[in-house]
Amino acid sequence: MSQKILTAAGYHRATSYRRHGLTPHSLDWAHQPVPVKRYPQPDRVPLDHDRKLPPLDYPGIMRHASPGHPAAPDIQVMATVFRLAHDVTARAMHGGQPFHYRSVASAGALYPFELYLAAHHIDGLAPGLYHYNLFDFSLTALRRGPVPAIPPVNRGIAATFYITGIFFRSAWKYRSRAYRYVLLDAGHLLENLRLALGALGMDFSIHLDFDDRRAATLLGLDPRREACLVGVHLHGAPAAEMGTGAAGDPKPLAGDILRASVVSDREVAYPDILRIHRAGHAVETGSAGAPPELAVMKKTPASWIGLDPPEFPVPADYARILGQRRSRRNFLSASVSRADLMSFLDLVTGHMGAASAMPPSCRSALATGFLAGSGMPVSPGFYLLDPDARRLGCVSGGGFTESMARACLDQMWLKHAGLHLLFMTDLDALDRTWGPRGYRYAMIEAGRLGQQVYLAATAMGWGACGIGAIYDREAADLLDLSDDGALLYLVGAGPVKRR
């Protein structure tokens, strides 16, 4: 086993793209992964998709989408949560095959994530473990009766949502690099789930640290193919404080349940993915919980600009934004007012830093910034975002967007985007503080914030498109990052051409 794969820095560098160093790779269309898990003789619980969604103001959600007050949820509320978290928003035919647009962004539209629900105290839903099927809007019962809460906490739990990733759905296209996209996509889905729970005023907590093997056994996953990445506890009313489910370890599910993690008749195993994921099984406590000192950039901002509160908050219905969210690349070089830029940044930074409901490990694993193009009301250049101090700092002036488009595998449409949102980390700091598991924190947080860029851009009437395909060192050198600094994810955003 290659030791360099057993660290965040080692895996990231081993799977880096290098100009003139990419190996040609054709897609096996005859064995493309299926988009839904196939369970034997499923015991389904239908959910109500016809019920009208409550009116939800998106800017208001961004100011208040944090844990609320305990409430006694019922199955109708759960149906609303699932619709807001992950839903089909449109259908089309691509290449003679049906294609389903979804409310969640995904690299290459491969959707490696799955969503599960462990019900403990849900009115109208028997205790047990369920898998969510968005195509027929139902829950598949995998276990009946009380199930343990993973991870255990000293609070009553009404239910737990689990987000998993199926490796081959992304590896079919991205090979060994796919672990990056599986984590990013888990973050995309997590942000929608977090916003849904916050919008409905629910009390919840997000967990990325738990016993990986125990979680896989509970969910009935084939650990060679699918992994649990996130758990979100929904804390219930005081009556639920009496218990959260079964004690002890979950019993393994039948082999045909595990085989549902197989999504293609011809799967290729990429050892680097399993190596880095299994290397992160152990949860490191870090240095007494202190956040790491990220040395992402060689330079610090020479000057800072305060983020103005929006004069006129953008009115937007949240359900409409979810329905209209798309990856759009037809960027238009156009002028953007200062008020619009500040409104956009207010939405994007609303739940960064101390205001985030994420675990401290995620909040401190990233540095965020953006490249401003020629149409922005600030000078073209590279800016760092400081969400806690509500300011942005100019690291370097000048035009970067065309060069960054070249560093993103020469996707030159990207040069027309008014903004390139940047999610960066210090790989060595991740390893020193949390070990290989730190890579999960940084990538999932980058995906979570990337989904927020999609939603904020949609609210503004702009377009957005995420980019994970990057000549890694070329992009880092362009930004003058440190030797261990890395650009994990880029999301282009700005005005787009109207059809």
What span, in angstroms and rounded, lies between the C-alpha atoms of 396 and 404? 14
The pLDDT value recorded for residue 64 is 64
Sorted by where each begins, the domain ranges of the chain are 32-279, 303-494
CATH 3.30.750.24 is right for the domain spanning 32-279 = no
H or E segment to which residue 235 belongs: strand 226-235
- Return the closest-CA partner of residue 168 out of 32, 305, 58: 32
For residues 162 and 492, what is the distance between their CA atoms, to the nearest angstrom? 29
Burial label for 211, CB within 10 Å (0-12, 13-18, 19+), is middle
Label residues 271-284 b or e (16+ Cβ within 10 Å = b). Answer: ebbbbbbbbbeebb
Nearest-CA neighbor of 418 among 344, 323, 326, 320? 344
Which pLDDT belongs to residue 1?
Answer: 46
- CA-wise closest residue to 451 among 316, 347, 337: 347
499 residues of the chain, pLDDT tens digit each: 466 679 999 999 999 999 998 888 889 999 999 999 999 987 999 999 999 998 999 988 887 655 666 667 999 999 999 999 999 999 988 777 788 999 999 999 999 999 999 999 999 999 999 999 999 999 999 999 999 999 999 989 999 999 999 999 999 999 999 999 999 999 999 999 999 999 999 999 999 999 999 999 999 999 999 999 999 999 986 544 545 667 688 999 999 999 999 999 999 999 999 999 999 998 876 544 567 889 999 999 988 999 988 876 777 899 999 999 999 999 998 999 999 999 999 999 988 988 888 999 998 999 999 999 989 999 999 999 999 999 999 999 999 999 999 999 999 999 999 999 999 999 999 999 999 999 999 999 999 999 999 999 999 999 999 999 999 999 999 999 999 999 999 999 999 998 6
> What is the pTM (predicted TM-score) of this model?
0.96
Q: What is the pLDDT of residue 302?
A: 87
Same fold, 32-279 and 303-494: yes
8-state DSSP, 137? T
Q: Which CATH code for domain 303-494?
A: 3.40.109.10
Q: What is the DSSP secondary structure assignment for residue 484, as one 8-state letter? A: T
